[in-house]
Structure 1
Amino acid sequence: MTQNIRIAAADAPGVGERRLRFVDGRSVVLFNVEGVIHAIDNSCPHNGASLANGRLDGHVLQCPAHGLRFDLVSGCVVGAPGMCLTKLAVDTSSQD
């Protein structure tokens, strides 16, 4: 299930950038891929490793700990949809 978070527009990353933020007591990584903001919990569902410094190739994020590759669009492991990230819907419309 996708959860919603609010961030100030100034806290959103620019195209091709990522930002680590703490939102409502949780560590969240924001990625801007081709103008679309993807937000996920900063924790790999496999073993809890931080994903903030994972290698990003297009919209595929590789966990730096064990190499699992997650599609940021679906949130799931590439080729194995049973393991998924916690995706967060981002609302920047009402804050600056």
Structure 2
Amino acid sequence: MCRRIPVSEARCPRPGGRALIEFEDKGLALFNIDGELLAIDDSCPHQGASLCGGRLEGRVIQCCAHGLRFDLRSGYLLNSPVLKVPCYPVEVIDGEVFIVIAAEETVS
């Protein structure tokens, strides 16, 4: 079972933008890359620094704490299949935006 987290129109980023979406005790970073919406955990898997405020180059986000760079589509650290930030599908249904969280990923 999945959970769809609604993103209000006011919080949905414009192309080139980003937004921090709070869901229960979890922060999600939502990016708009040339009209494509991509969502990841806001917490860097290295030491938990926020990724939403990092340097964005195309669809790569760089952690401001230690410079690690992650692909927003796959979540993987560039040039490594080992370290990964969780990423989530984004759906647009009848003009409304939702971040999809799988049941095993929800926070209790």
TM-score category (smaller protein): 0.7 to 0.9
Cα offsets for 1:23-80 (capped at 9, x unmatched): 2432111100011011111100111111121000001110001111101111100001
Question: In 2 relative to 1, CA 81–4 (structure 1 residues): closer, same or farther, beyond 3 Å?
Answer: farther
Q: Which has the larger radius of gyration?
A: 2
Please tell me the residue identity of whatever aligns with 2:43.
Answer: S
Contact 2:73/2:87 (<8 A) preserved = no
Identity %: 43
1:27 maps to 27
TM-aligned CA deviation for residue 19 of structure 1: 0.7
Question: In 2 relative to 1, CA 32–38 (structure 1 residues): closer, same or farther, beyond 3 Å?
Answer: same
Q: So what's the TM-score if we normalise by structure 2?
A: 0.76
SS at match of 2:15: coil
Question: In 2 relative to 1, CA 92–25 (structure 1 residues): closer, same or farther, beyond 3 Å?
Answer: farther
Task: State the distance in 2 between where 1:4 and 1:46 align.
Answer: 27
Task: State the distance in 2 between where 1:63 and 1:40 align.
Answer: 13
Task: State the distance in 2 between where 1:77 and 1:53 align.
Answer: 17
> What runs of 5+ residues in structure 1 fail to find an aligned partner?
none
Which is bigger in relative contact order (C-alpha 8 A, separation at least 6)? 1
Does structure 1 residue 6 correspond to structure 2 residue 6? yes
